[in-house]
Amino acid sequence: MPPLFLKTCTQKLEVIADGSWHRTVNGTLLCTRVLGAKKYRTTCTGEGPAQPGMDHLNLGDCVKIHSVQRLWQRGQFEGVTVQRPPVPGSIVVLNEKGGVLEFDQVGLTIIPRFLGRPFYVGYCPILAVSLTDVCLESAQGELNPKWHLTGEEV
């Protein structure tokens, strides 16, 4: 989608359940999730005369979505390797008081120039998703149709 959609697009990120909840005999609630990176389901919605080219999208297509949601990772004493490729220009590094830090980037690793203290890396990820729902909605003659795309990370 062209960048102009970002002004009319709303994105929702949900963590996909990769396990289930069970109660033990003693009543303790346990999650039987698989350890590892989280996967996300994303829903992008918008309305207006500018809409994605839905005629070229099919269910099951794998597309890359530049997220508008920021993910955060904590680092300390060394650089942080982000879990997904970042949208260019979306990386920000903050110290524990919220001050902006300068940083260097080597591939997916973010290295603040002042190491040794806790810091936080925020970035908008590029998500590779498989489309599970594509929808257009409008009344007859309406010039501002509503649309949404839903996909799950592959």
Query: Average pLDDT of each block of 10 consecutive residues along the chain (154 residues)?
Result: 63 84 88 76 83 79 90 85 91 89 88 83 94 86 82 92
Task: List, for residues 80-121, the tens digit of each pLDDT value.
Answer: 899 899 999 999 999 888 889 889 888 998 888 877 788 999
Vertex 83 angle, CA 82 and 84, to 5°: 95
pTM: 0.78
128 burial level (CB within 10 Å; 0-12, 13-18, 19+): middle
Q: What is the C-alpha separation between 75 and 78, in angstroms, rounded?
A: 7
